[in-house]
Amino acid sequence: MDGSTFPEIRSTCPYCGVGCGVLLRADGQGGLDVRGDPDHPANRGRLCSKGSALAETVGPEGRLLTPRIGGQQASWADALGLVADKFRAAIDRYGPDSVAFYVSGQLLTEDYYVANKLMKGFIGSANIDTNSRLCMASTVAGHKRAFGTDTVPGTYEDLEEADLVVLVGSNLAWCHPVLHQRLLAAKQARGTRIVVIDPRRTATCDGADMHLALQPGSDVALFNRLLAMLYKGGLVDRRFLRHTDGFDAALKAACADDTGVTGLSDAQIDAFCQLWLKTEKVVTVFGQGVNQSSSGSDKVNAILNCHLASGRIGKPGMGPLSVTGQPNAMGGREVGGLANMLACHLDIENPDHRTAIRDFWQAPAVPDASGLKAVDMFRAVGDGRIKALWIIHTNPAVSMPDADIVSAAIKGCDFTVVSDITAATDTARLADVLLPATAWAEKDGTVTNSDRTISRQRSTLPPPGQARPDWAILAEVGRRMGFARAFDYTSPAEIFREYARLSGIAGRFGRDFDISGLMDLTDADYDRLLPTRWPITETRRGGRFFGDGVFFHGDGKGRLIPVTYRAPAAQTGPRFPLRLNTGRVRDQWHTMTRTGLSPRLSAHLAEPFLEIHPVDASAYGISPADLLRVISPNGQAILRARITDAVQPGQVFAPMHWTGETAPSARIDALVAPVVDPVSGQPESKASVVAVTRFPAA
Ligand code: SF4
């Protein structure tokens, strides 16, 4: 059949949290034609290099086609029976907290919902956490402290209505390229000013009016200065502050903080603050440079404090905007896929919320306390408290901090099952049972992007071999564990309707997340569902939050949180004199299981590297392209030297994509200590300490 005879299908890009719409057409030979969806509100037809290369990453090559037990091909019946038996046996012998799920922002909302329901409602433990813990848990914690719920106040359109956009710890040009394209277009059209706050000079700085290369981890001190100057300049919005509590304490903490730790001059700080103060329409975008820190939640609240104090929130062109790393990081937050949350933004600590969920699910028990967050979960795997572990669409043997220790922990676990599209990941190789799951172009369901827009992912290609959707695999295990009625799903549409009904209960508790307006969708409606921003109720559809002064704490008020600068946990010294920053490159995604298949994408930056300043390179006798041994207290890696003044003296940068599969000696997260933010549990991935020598040593 000619490829043009296949219908064009609307779906969503499976990479970053921008959530661009794509139009897919099967070519009849197992491949796809891909173009940007001109009608999707996130991208209006644009795609970045990764999205444009999606067609090069599909196909049967490298796919896991059948279940495997102990490395041998097995039937679905045997594999699922073994998974259910092993989990049941561990629970019966050691209790529900002896098992855990570690899942992923790659899961669709329907998959996530079933995983969360199985663990929190029927196994009776909260031990389900996600790789989103490594991505935006600090934002979740900051939002909840300030707003009472994990609510993104604004929308992408705010970037086009703002007069000043401040990008904090965000290399938007490489990590959320289509949003960056929208921002640059706005700059051209209306002269939007752009400020980048980042220790490193990134591609995003090319389009900026100001770059503040602050010291790593010092964001709180900078935004505290801004809050103090808002007050001193008489620019606090007293009328809006009546809708909040905590201003005096936050201001007192801010005034006591010392901006000397930022490494910026007074003139630089003044220039930034004056620009912020004299511009009413300000959006502050923040990314992993804020989140991946032992003070990440405080950084988030330092930013939110300034928007709350000035009333610049939830109005056109005004507000904070966190950008999520994964396609469905937001959907995972909404369904309660984090160990400290219940579905639909209900609180695990609230007995009424727990009862409502238990009644709705007709579940035996809903846990009354948080489960193990990612770093603690793998510690518990390592010390034998977790007896059965299910890892879904993620590669923690590479991507968790202290990756060597995590890898050994997974290997030593009594029973590990991995669901993925490939057996060729460092984690999949450690599994007792491997389950073949469908990949993005074969999946049906929904995702939510960084501005609360729910979009459909639609199946365009047939699954290869025996691959199955994640929701179906999870539901079958639930049934085999004895919960037949609760997991008797036949389609993602059915799961979505149940989820939408549950959100209506959350809405009655006064929570923000309410999509009950979608609970009566027919299968055909669900199939046709257009991108829609929540909330979606009978009376409300989309829009912004908090401009009206209504928050989700019990008293209806928002909170300013007193925060002061805390240094990164590890300090440089004679043994480890350099500060290691980690991050993404433009054309790779996570551990490269998909983007690594595209020669075009791999041509951008072909191998792992370490950026080092010329002053440090000279001090260590390093020449361009030398191989370097990078050593931290936790591990080591071998990387190619790139000498550049984009990093500051005393600081180095390495991308985090390369793995045991593509570059066995370049596992960056083996260098990262498992230090976490005490509020959010998010690891400090951007402030390790390392030493560097030439490899082999001269
Ligand atoms: Fe995909 Fe993100 Fe690129 Fe959009 S910006 S095409 S969602 S990777």
CB of residue 48 inside a 6 A radius of ligand 1: yes
pLDDT at 1 over 60: no
Q: Compute CA distances 516 → 103, 153, 499, whole Å.
A: 26, 20, 8
> Which mutation among 11, 12, 18 tests ligand 1's pocket best, with the greatest number of atoms within 8 A of CB?
18
- CA 50 / ligand 1 centre spacing (Å): 7
Q: What is the pLDDT of residues 488-541, one digit of tens each?
A: 999 999 999 999 999 999 989 989 999 999 999 999 999 999 999 999 999 999
Among residues 630, 510, 656, the alpha carbon closest in space to that of 577 is found at 630
Number of domains in the chain: 4
Contact assessment for residue 285 and residue 165, using Cβ atoms and an 8 Å cutoff: yes
Burial class (CB in 10 A: 0-12, 13-18, 19+), 184: middle
Q: Are residues 429 and 484 in the same domain?
A: yes
- CA 13 / ligand 1 centre spacing (Å): 6
Peptide bond preceding 568 in cis form (omega within 30 of 0): no
72 forms beta bridges with 69
- pLDDT, residue 660, reads 63
- pLDDT, residue 289, reads 93
Q: What is the pLDDT of residues 222-255, one digit of tens each?
A: 999 999 999 999 999 999 999 999 999 999 999 9
Q: For residue 590, what is the domain's CATH number?
A: 2.40.40.20
- Point out the ligand 1 atom lying closest to the alpha carbon of residue 449: 7
C-alpha angle 234/240/244, rounded to 5°?
Answer: 110
Q: Are residues 267 and 335 in the same domain?
A: no
pLDDT at 662 over 70: no
CB of residue 14 inside a 6 A radius of ligand 1: no
Q: Are residues 238 and 291 in the same domain?
A: yes
Q: For residue 336, what is the domain's CATH number?
A: 3.40.50.740
Q: Compute CA distances 273 → 93, 182, 238, 337, 413, whole Å.
A: 59, 25, 19, 38, 52
pLDDT at 4 over 70: no
- CA 174 / ligand 1 centre spacing (Å): 10
pLDDT at 2 over 60: no
Contact assessment for residue 259 and residue 267, using Cβ atoms and an 8 Å cutoff: no
In this structure, the residue with its CA closest to atom 2 of ligand 1 is: 16
Q: Whole-angstrom Cα distance, residue 688 to residue 691?
A: 10
- CA 441 / ligand 1 centre spacing (Å): 15
Q: Are residues 148 and 252 in the same domain?
A: yes
Q: The domain containing residue 52 runs over which residues? A: 3-57
CB of residue 551 inside a 6 A radius of ligand 1: no
Q: What is the pLDDT of residues 169-207, one digit of tens each?
A: 999 999 999 999 999 999 999 999 999 999 999 999 999
Domain assignment present for 187: yes
Largest CA distance in the chain: 71
Last residue of a domain, one of 268, 290, 323: 323
> Which mutation among 16, 324, 450 tests ligand 1's pocket best, with the greatest number of atoms within 8 A of CB?
16
In this structure, the residue with its CA closest to atom 6 of ligand 1 is: 51
Last residue of a domain, one of 502, 533, 564: 533
Domain assignment present for 546: no
C-alpha angle 551/555/558, rounded to 5°?
Answer: 35
Q: Are residues 245 and 363 in the same domain?
A: no
CB of residue 177 inside a 6 A radius of ligand 1: yes
Domain assignment present for 559: no
DSSP string, 602-637: HTTS-S-EEEE-HHHHHHTT--TT-EEEEE-SS-EE
Domain assignment present for 500: yes
pLDDT at 697 over 80: no
Q: What average pLDDT does range 138-163 have in this prediction?
A: 97
Q: What is the pLDDT of residues 43-54, one digit of tens each?
A: 999 999 999 989
Q: Whole-angstrom Cα distance, residue 666 to residue 607?
A: 9
Q: For residue 49, what is the domain's CATH number?
A: 2.20.25.90
- Point out the ligand 1 atom lying closest to the alpha carbon of residue 327: 7
What pTM was computed for the model? 0.96
- CA 16 / ligand 1 centre spacing (Å): 5
Which of the pair, 172 or 592, is modelled with greater confidence?
A: 172
Q: Are residues 123 and 141 in the same domain?
A: no
Name, in order, each residue with C-beta under 8 angstroms of 667's C-beta and a sequence gap of 6 or more: 398, 403, 404, 426, 635, 637, 658, 659, 660
Which of the pair, 570 or 583, is modelled with greater confidence?
A: 570
Among residues 177, 219, 175, 178, the alpha carbon closest in space to that of 197 is found at 219
Domain assignment present for 9: yes
Q: How confident is the model at residue 35 (pLDDT cuts 50, 70, 90)?
A: very high
* Token code pair at residue 594: 């998909």
Domain assignment present for 416: yes
- Point out the ligand 1 atom lying closest to the alpha carbon of residue 52: 6
Contact assessment for residue 204 and residue 233, using Cβ atoms and an 8 Å cutoff: no
Contact assessment for residue 628 and residue 695, using Cβ atoms and an 8 Å cutoff: yes
- pLDDT, residue 583, reads 85
pLDDT at 452 over 90: yes
- CA 49 / ligand 1 centre spacing (Å): 8
Q: Are residues 265 and 311 in the same domain?
A: yes
- pLDDT, residue 76, reads 98
Q: Are residues 399 and 298 in the same domain?
A: no
CB of residue 323 inside a 6 A radius of ligand 1: no
CB of residue 377 inside a 6 A radius of ligand 1: no
- CA 547 / ligand 1 centre spacing (Å): 29
CB of residue 41 inside a 6 A radius of ligand 1: no
Direct distance between the N- and C-terminal alpha carbons of the chain, in angstroms, rounded to an integer: 61
Q: Are residues 190 and 82 in the same domain?
A: no
Last residue of a domain, one of 265, 292, 323: 323
Q: Are residues 594 and 638 in the same domain?
A: yes
- CA 657 / ligand 1 centre spacing (Å): 17
pLDDT at 9 over 90: yes
Among residues 306, 314, 342, the alpha carbon closest in space to that of 152 is found at 314
Whole-number average pLDDT of the chain = 94
> Which mutation among 40, 54, 176 tests ligand 1's pocket best, with the greatest number of atoms within 8 A of CB?
176
- Point out the ligand 1 atom lying closest to the alpha carbon of residue 13: 1
Q: Are residues 420 and 521 in the same domain?
A: yes
* Token code pair at residue 550: 């209504």
- Point out the ligand 1 atom lying closest to the alpha carbon of residue 12: 7
Among residues 113, 103, 54, 37, the alpha carbon closest in space to that of 448 is found at 113
Domain assignment present for 649: yes
Q: How confident is the model at residue 664 (pLDDT cuts 50, 70, 90)?
A: low
CB of residue 178 inside a 6 A radius of ligand 1: yes
Domain assignment present for 539: no
Q: Which of 421-425, 466-470, 659-663, 666-670 has the highest mean pLDDT?
A: 466-470
Q: How is the beta sheet containing 532-533 ordered, strand by strand? A: 445-448, 453-457, 532-533
CB of residue 53 inside a 6 A radius of ligand 1: no
Q: For residue 274, what is the enclosing H or E element?
A: helix 266-278
Q: Are residues 297 and 424 in the same domain?
A: no
Q: How confident is the model at residue 162 (pLDDT cuts 50, 70, 90)?
A: very high
Name, in order, each residue with C-beta under 8 angstroms of 65's C-beta and a sequence gap of 6 or more: 436, 464, 465, 466, 467
Q: For residue 145, what is the domain's CATH number?
A: 3.40.228.10
- pLDDT, residue 663, reads 61
Q: What is the pLDDT of residues 292-348, one digit of tens each?
A: 999 999 999 999 999 999 999 999 999 999 998 778 888 999 999 999 999 999 999
Q: What average pLDDT does range 445-451 have in this prediction?
A: 97
